[in-house]
Amino acid sequence: MKEFITIDLERCTGCRNCELACSTVHTESFNPKRSRIQILKEEVRNLVVPMVCLQCETPLCQEACPTGAIVENEHGILYVKQETCIGCMNCVTACVYGGIAIDPKTKKAIKCDLCNGDPACVKACDYSAISVAATKPEGLHQRRMAVSSAFDTLGMNIEEGQE
């Protein structure tokens, strides 16, 4: 069963500890700009927008990669093979969710690999806003509900529909 990260905006305080935790695990440093999870904020409207790979079933990033650098690991999670990536940014352009980015230091693509099943960001979130959900209707529903407050803020309605 595939899994992905969901973030409950009702609980998220925008403290960005997840970014720090992610960067310590993946870069051995405290460097939020190199984190695989990014918390964007728009203070004027009190909008917090977490950006993290949705672990798509039809990954546009993988399709767009000219060198085949985006491959599954032993847990079936797509990750970016750093030695194969040429930093062309095709994947970044292809992903409409902002789930893959370029590492400012290595200039290669980075995305969430779920830390081999035990994500650092989940452990680091003191507000229990981040969790791992399974790719089932319940999990998908959880992900959608978790961001509904941002849609409210933006005045957008999301209809109930098939997940």
Partner 1 sequence: MTFPYKGYAGYYLDVDLTKGVVHKKEMEKEWARLYLGGTGVSSRILWDRTTVKTDPLSPDNVLIVGTGPLTGVMFSPSGRMMFAGRGPLTGVWAESHVGGFMGPEIKYAGFDFIIFNGRSPKPVYLFLRDGKAELLDASHLWGQETNITTMMIREDHKDPSIETAVIGPAGENQVLFGGIIVDFYRAAGRAGLGTVLGSKNVKGIAASGSLGLEAYDMEKYLEANAREMERLDDPIWKDSLASLRKYGTTDLVAVINEIGRLPTKNHWTGFYEDADDIGPEIIAEKYRIAQEACYGCEVGCKYIIRVKGGKYPTEPIGGPEYETIMAFGSNCLNNDIESIFHLGKRCDLLGLDTISTGKTIGFAMELYEKGILTKKDTDGLELTWGNSEVQAELVEKIAKREGFGKILANGVRKAAEQIGGDAWKYAIHVKGLEASGQDPRAHQSIGLTYATNVRGADHLRSISCIEELGYPKIAADRFGVEKAQAILEIMSPKHKGEVVWDVENLYALVDSAVICKYSTMWPPVFYFDTFVNVIPALTGMVEWGDEKYVRTAAERISHLRRAFNHRIGITRKDETLPPRLLSEPMPTGPAKGGLPDLDIMLDEYYDFRGCDRETGYPKEMKLKELKLDFVIDELKPKGMIR
The site for partner 1 (CB under 8 A) is made up of: 13-17, 20-21, 23-24, 27-34, 40, 42-46, 104-105, 124, 126-127
Total residues belonging to the chain: 163
How far apart CA 21 and CA 77 sit, in angstroms, is 20
Least Å distance between CB 136 and partner 1? 30
Least Å distance between CB 60 and partner 1? 24
Measuring CA to CA, which residue among 2, 12, 36 is closest to residue 129? 12
Of 64 and 87, which has the nearer Cβ to partner 1?
Answer: 87
Of 29 and 67, which has the nearer Cβ to partner 1?
Answer: 29
CA atoms within 13 A on the CB side of 76: 8
Q: What is the DSSP string of 44-60?
A: GGTEEEEE-----SS-H
Of 68 and 151, which has the nearer Cβ to partner 1?
Answer: 151
Least Å distance between CB 110 and partner 1? 12
Least Å distance between CB 25 and partner 1? 10
Least Å distance between CB 120 and partner 1? 10
Of 42 and 138, which has the nearer Cβ to partner 1?
Answer: 42
Of 15 and 60, which has the nearer Cβ to partner 1?
Answer: 15
How far apart CA 71 and CA 86 sit, in angstroms, is 14
How far apart CA 38 and CA 59 sit, in angstroms, is 19
How far apart CA 148 and CA 152 sit, in angstroms, is 6
